[in-house]
Amino acid sequence: MAITPGMAAGGKATPSAGAMTKEERKVIFASSLGTVFEWYDFYLYGSLASVIATQFFAGVGDPTTAFIFALLAFAAGFIVRPFGALVFGRLGDMIGRKYTFLVTILIMGGSTFVVGLLPGYASIGIAAPIILVTLRILQGLALGGEYGGAATYVAEHAPEGRRGAYTAWIQTTATLGLFLSLLVILGARTAMDPEAFAAWGWRIPFLVSVLLLGISVWIRLSMNESPAFAKMKAEGKTSKAPLSEAFLKWNNAKYALLALGIVIGQAVVWYTGQFYALFFLTQTLKIDLAVANIMLAIALALATPFFIVFGTLSDRIGRKPIILAGCLIAALTYFPIFKGLTTYGNPALANALANSPVVVVADPASCHFQVKLTGTEKFPSSCDIATAQLTAASVNYTIQPAPAGTIASVHIGDKVYPSFNATMTADGRDFDKASKAREAALKKDLGAGVKDAGYPAKADTAAINKPMVVALLFVLVLYVTMVYGPIAAMLVEMFPTRIRYTSMSLPYHIGNGWFGGLLPTISFALVAANGDIYYGLWYPIVFAVFTLVIGVLFLRETKNNNIYAAD
């Protein structure tokens, strides 16, 4: 018999109000703390992307190429998350939530620890990035099985009318994991000089994860199975084929598609507010990594309680209005917020962007979209060589069309810097020796030119208006809490118990893993192609609006749905 709303899996009425019980606190603590540690493992890589680019991808090309390749390796963990959702979601729906938790945490923690031991490109050559990407894939598979289980486990313990508040604690774990990773990185950086940290100190946060792994395993061993799942299993109602039930039967599959449409907007807002913001501070505004991490950590600490605020509010007014409002406000305000980050984070750069326009005169056919998916792909045209150098220097530029075959040139004020078409090596993988020398000379000349035009090589830490930067970062993370705080409860409420783990995990990880995880890489490439340091923001804006439209047209409120039914 299906259990009606307001009843627990055992058939007893669940309270809709009142203090959280000791057992409920244990469930939330155990699920949340283990997930914090898992996100900590996952985000170390993103927080140290610039260092990892140097350590593991130094041999694949120029710094811009190395950084894009490092971001793609970071994205690899996100790309495979849906496959982890399929594997572990199926196990979670067939054998239970608890044991699936144990497997995912062991894979995640072990892979992270090995990254801390892995020799760099200088030691073992191309094997270093190959092994690193393999470890990232293992991390992504494990994380793909983590979130759906944690959200489902907590929601199935929550009283009726409190699911938003209870699952909101799970929603804090990703941000808290990032926050914890930033603190450990800052601790390691401040304990040693910059050269030592770049050489070997960056490994410490990865190695520390083995301690967190031990704590997480101990916590997960102390957990009991979800009562809703335990009852369903005792009655023989578990699914024998959760994948086909969830995605090959239209009555269930249509909700998975709708869930994906909503998750996409949540994902791009999430990654813009935390990861792209950090990349923008360090890579575009050239703010010192430690300073940027501190400002972001403060913003995260201030905004994290709002996950609980919006999760609790969603129990009263619904999940839909809060999530869609977050997407709408984010889409409307991203451009002014990121321009504000430039104004307050690097005033000299903001002044140069306003007063020293740069023009690239080139044949448009020679200017390409430089997403280097292999990491070793080279773009030898004169336009691509010039624009890559300008992008690395955070210089806005416009492209002035020239006749076909024209060799590109960069115009800075009254000075002109001619570019060149590079010659490739015989294997077609790199510039030849003469072209590399010309590229280095052009880089030096352009560096001097943009410096004379007022473009700073790095942000002056003393000139940063830190309170204003923190305030703007806080607003970005506040948007994250709006879209992310209520979404776990909404996803749980969209699917029946017997296929819930599988059904909610796949759309969640496609949305977050693919659309969110690729955001930094695609946004960075959009900037390089267009010449506007803010152009990458169109990626999250378009998808946030997409989710807004899907939600308004097709999404029904879920907060009063019965989550205890097996079918």
Q: What is the DSSP letter of 556?
A: P
pLDDT in tens, 347-360: 999 998 888 889 99
Helix 63-79 × helix 127-155 angle, to 10°? 40
Q: What is the pLDDT of residue 239?
A: 63
pLDDT on residue 8: 35
Who wins on pLDDT, 431 or 334? 334
Q: Of 244-248, 310-314, 410-414, 433-437, which gets the smallest average pLDDT? A: 244-248
Q: pLDDT value at position 227?
A: 64
Separation CA 111–CA 44 (nearest Å): 12
Between 184 and 332, the more confident residue is 332
Q: What is the mean pLDDT of residues 146-159?
A: 79
Do residues 388 and 362 make contact, with C-beta atoms less than 8 angstroms apart?
no
pLDDT tens-place string over residues 170-206: 888 877 887 888 788 888 888 888 888 888 898 998 8
**pLDDT tens digits, one per residue of 99-129:** 787 788 888 888 888 988 989 888 888 888 8
For residue 567, what pLDDT is reported?
Answer: 59
Separation of first and last alpha carbons in the chain: 10
pLDDT tens, residue by residue, 271-330: 999 889 988 999 889 999 889 988 998 998 899 999 999 999 999 999 999 999 999 999
Cβ-in-10-Å burial (0-12, 13-18, 19+) of 199 comes to: middle
Q: With 80 as the cut, is the pLDDT of residue 345 above it?
A: yes
Tell me what pLDDT residue 566 has: 53
Report the C-alpha gap between 220 and 29 in whole angstroms: 10
Question: Which pLDDT belongs to residue 6?
Answer: 34
Contact 425/431 with Cβ under 8 angstroms? yes
Over the stretch 441-458, which tens digit does the pLDDT of each residue have?
Answer: 999 999 899 888 888 888
More confident residue, 110 or 150: 110
Question: What is the C-alpha to C-alpha distance for residues 499 and 246, in angstroms, rounded to an integer?
Answer: 6
Higher pLDDT, 88 or 335: 335
* 65 pLDDT more than 60: yes
- Set out the domains of the chain in order of their start, with CATH numbers: 22-345+462-554 (1.20.1250.20), 351-452 (3.40.30)
Among 77-86, 219-228, 267-276, the range scoring the smallest mean pLDDT is 219-228
Residue appearing with tokens 């996803």: 491
Buried b (16+ CB within 10 A) or exposed e, 481-502: bbbbbbbbbbbbbbbbbbbbbb
pLDDT at 63 over 60: yes
Q: What is the DSSP letter of 107?
A: H
The mean-pLDDT minimum among 139-143, 229-233, 558-562 falls in 229-233
- Tell me the per-residue pLDDT of 530-556, one tens digit each, with 9 for 90 and over: 888 899 999 999 999 999 999 999 999
Range of lowest pLDDT (11-25, 55-69, 493-507): 11-25
Cα(276)–Cα(245) distance, rounded to whole angstroms?
37
Q: Is the pLDDT of residue 11 over 60?
A: no
More confident residue, 374 or 379: 379
